[in-house]
Amino acid sequence: MRRISTGIQGRSILGSFVAETNRFTTREVNQDLVLEPAGTGIIRAEKHVKINGTAGSLILETDNGNEVVLQTASGSGYALTMPTDTPAAGEVLISDASGNLTFDDINLPVSNQTADTSAYFPLMNTASSGDITGVSVSSSKLSFQPSSGTLTVDNITVDDDVTILGTMTAASIVETSSIALKQNVEPIQNALAAVTQLNGVTYDRRDTQEHEAGLIAEWVDQVLPDLVTRDCDGGVIGIKYTKLTAYLIEAVKTLKTEIDELKSK
């Protein structure tokens, strides 16, 4: 058993140690080991310094600011300086060009892309809640070209209404109309009266300059409000033309009944 002193002359750093093979073992309980060379001296480890188990490493500046400075050998060109602030939940370490590290959220820059002629592939994942462990793309089935605004997709299955502004081209569009998806099914009443209040018109589109025939959504809203689509503010923006077919069918059936009655007289 012997005492170990290191650092400033005349200052004993720690109590009793026992020297074993390549190891100093303290016999004092809950005591610190302080190594403090005088002048320009340093504490040097010629090989790795290993902290075993669940023990931690605490590095303090002289002002106890909890700042950790990691620097490469002189002349290698960079240094990493740890932040002094406390990170919030979910924040990560972000560095600037000088090697200063800060805690921050992960932010990705967003730009409006309308000119690129490359194909972009939307990211997909199978999770609807919790954490995302990975994402996928479908390069041969789903893509988007910013310069033309073209969305390319093999097949579209629609479980509810869909509004298309402009022209859409796809291999097939299938609207799911199974009874399994519907409830409170009732026959349409007074279909002929409703259809006769609709007014078909021709017009020139302001956006495409094309001459077309169709209905005016605001006028349809006054007769059959269930056949129009609305924006997030409730404004009328389109017509569900496929749903109009149900009224036309019932109107034709009413006309046939009236014609049959006239023929029977």
* Residue 219 CB burial class (10 angstroms; 0-12, 13-18, ≥19): middle
Query: What is the structure's pLDDT at 136?
Result: 93
Q: Are residues 195 and 260 in the same domain?
A: yes
Residue 93 lies inside a defined structural domain of this protein = no
Query: What is the structure's pLDDT at 52?
Result: 73
Residue 72 lies inside a defined structural domain of this protein = no
| Domain containing residue 142 | 112-153
- How many whole angstroms separate alpha carbon 86 and alpha carbon 251? 71
Residues in the chain: 265
Query: What is the structure's pLDDT at 224?
Result: 95
- pLDDT digit string, tens, across residues 119-174: 999 999 988 888 888 899 998 889 999 988 888 887 777 666 666 666 655 555 66
Q: Are residues 148 and 195 in the same domain?
A: no
Q: Are residues 148 and 199 in the same domain?
A: no
Residue 95 lies inside a defined structural domain of this protein = no
Residue 20 lies inside a defined structural domain of this protein = yes
Residue 35 lies inside a defined structural domain of this protein = yes
Query: What is the structure's pLDDT at 137?
Result: 93
Report, as ranges of residue numbers, the positions in the chain whose pLDDT lies below 50.
Answer: 1-15
Q: Are residues 207 and 258 in the same domain?
A: yes
- DSSP-based three-state secondary structure for 64: coil
- Give the pair of three-digit tokens for residue 34: 């302080």
- How many whole angstroms separate alpha carbon 139 and alpha carbon 120? 9
Query: What is the structure's pLDDT at 6?
Result: 45
- How many whole angstroms separate alpha carbon 57 and alpha carbon 137? 43
Query: What is the structure's pLDDT at 80?
Result: 73
Residue 144 lies inside a defined structural domain of this protein = yes
> Which residues, 6+ apart, have CB-to-CB distance to 243 below 8 Å?
161, 226, 227
- Is the entire prediction scored with pTM above 0.75? no
Residue 184 lies inside a defined structural domain of this protein = no
Query: What is the structure's pLDDT at 120?
Result: 92
DSSP 252: H
Query: What is the structure's pLDDT at 175?
Result: 66
Query: What is the structure's pLDDT at 76?
Result: 56
Residue 49 lies inside a defined structural domain of this protein = yes
Count of domains observed in the chain = 3
Strands 156-158 and 173-175: what pairing?
parallel
Beta carbons of 220 and 198 less than 8 angstroms apart? yes
Residue ranges in 203-240 assigned as alpha helix (H): 217-223
Query: What is the structure's pLDDT at 4?
Result: 43
Q: Are residues 2 and 49 in the same domain?
A: yes
What value, to the nearest 5°, has the Cα angle with vertex 44 and ends 42 and 46?
A: 160
